Amino acid sequence: MVKTKKTKPNQTDRLLVIACGMIAREVLAVKEQLGLDHLELTCLPAEFHFHPDRIAPAMDKAIEKARAEGYEHIFVGYADCGTGGLLDRVLEKHGVERMAGPHCFAFYQGMEAYAKVADDDMMSFYMTDFLCRQFDAFFMKPLGLDKHPELIKDYFGNYEKLIYLAQTDDPELDKVAEKAAALLGLAYERRSTGFGDLTPGLARAAANA
């Protein structure tokens, strides 16, 4: 019996998206929506949302790993996300592009739309579908609010409004956002954004792969 050597799949014609774990579901939804069969996804931990200093070094390693695996076309599913330009330095080194904007809350709304409301939203706390699904895991427990609700004023006292940027129409997520606003003592607003600039951003990246 002749044994054949297994070869790795050819990655040269694939697009690898290295994204924040907070937008994984949305990237996959856009992939299905647009029929981007050659798009593959890997994610950095969603908790980097709270540790932006970890994003750039982790992305550097992730891109190096992807290159070693043969990926020629890579797109980053992050905005600056609090890295203060450090992420862009890494991407410039590797010749890789990312989503435009300061954070996902901006590109979900679309950069043009966000520019019009950014100043008015300065005192607003944003939530997304992901943050609604993970409200307890990302806010209540890590901040100790489940056991010490008196800390709410310390953490959220400077906010005036909770704005839910809804990627989908899910009544259960609406309830979570509304309950969160009431819990935090904030006015509530819902904006139906869909995937915003994520859709054309991934479409362009896929077309160039």
Q: Computed from CA positions of residues 129, 101, 96, 197, in that sequence, does the dihedral angle turn out positive or negative?
A: positive
Confidence tier at 177 by pLDDT (50, 70, 90): very high
pLDDT, mean of residues 50-74: 97
Measure the CA–CA gap between 146 and 37, rounded to whole angstroms.
42
Confidence tier at 10 by pLDDT (50, 70, 90): low
Going from N- to C-terminal start, the domains of the chain cover 15-102+196-207, 111-192
* pLDDT tens per residue, range 91-109: 999 999 999 999 999 999 9
Tell me the H-state helices in the chain: 24-34, 55-68, 86-94, 104-109, 111-117, 129-133, 135, 152-156, 171-184, 198-207
Confidence tier at 209 by pLDDT (50, 70, 90): confident
Among 93, 26, 108, CA closest to 62? 93
DSSP 8-class letter at 107? H
pLDDT, mean of residues 137-151: 89
Rounded to 5 degrees, what are φ and ψ at 43?
A: -130, 150
At the second CATH level, the architecture of 15-102+196-207 is: 3-Layer(aba) Sandwich (3.40)
3-class state of residue 94 by DSSP: helix
Confidence tier at 146 by pLDDT (50, 70, 90): confident
Q: What is the pLDDT of residue 41?
A: 98
